[in-house]
Amino acid sequence: MADESQGDGTRAARDSEIERTTEAESSAARLFDVRRVIGALFTLYGVLVLGAGLLDGDDASKKASGIDINIWTGLGMLLLGILMLVWMKVSPPRIGPADEAADDGAGDGAGDGAGDRRPAH
C-alpha cells in the first residue's frame, strides 16, 4: 500500500514535468515558426521595394518597357508577407499527440507502418 502511494506521487511529478515540457515546446514552436520569419522578411522587403518603386522616377519604368516593376514586385512581396503573418495568426502551430504520432512513423522507412508506433507512456 505504501508503494502505491509513492508511485502515485512519482507519477504526478512526472506528469507535471511532461506538462511543463509540452508547454515549453509549444511556446518555442510559436516563437520559431517559419511563417513568422518569412512573413516578416517579405513584408519588410516589400515595403522597401515598393518605396523604391514609388521614388525611382520614370527612368526605371523606361528600362522595364514601361512597367513599374518595383511597384508591382513590392506589392506582391508585401501581399505575400501579410498573408504569411495572417496564416500564422489564424492557424498557430500545435504541439501534441498528432505531431508525436507522425514522428513515430518516420523511422528508417522499413516495414509497412503497422506496428511502428510505440505505446504512449
Looking at mean pLDDT, say which of 72-81, 94-103, 112-121 comes out highest: 72-81
> Any alpha helices (H) in 1-121, and if so which ranges?
2-31, 34-55, 58-63, 69-90, 97-104
Q: At residue 112, does pLDDT exceed 60?
A: no
Cell of residue 35, nine digits: 511563417
Task: Write down the pLDDT at residue 101.
Answer: 47
Instruction: Tell me which residue of 87, 78, 88 sits closest to 42, measured CA to CA.
Output: 78
Task: Write down the pLDDT at residue 42.
Answer: 97
Of residues 95 and 10, more confidence is placed in: 10
How far is residue 57 CA from its own chain's centroid?
38
The Cα 13–Cα 107 span in angstroms is 30
Entry pTM:
0.55
Percent of the chain with pLDDT over 70: 58
CA atoms lying within 13 Å on the CB side of residue 82: 8
The Cα 92–Cα 94 span in angstroms is 6
* Average pLDDT of span 89-100: 69
pLDDT tens digits, 23-80: 666 666 666 788 999 999 999 999 999 999 999 888 888 888 888 999 999 999 999 9
Question: What own/partner pairs with CB < 8 Å and gap ≥ 24 does 13-16 have?
Answer: none
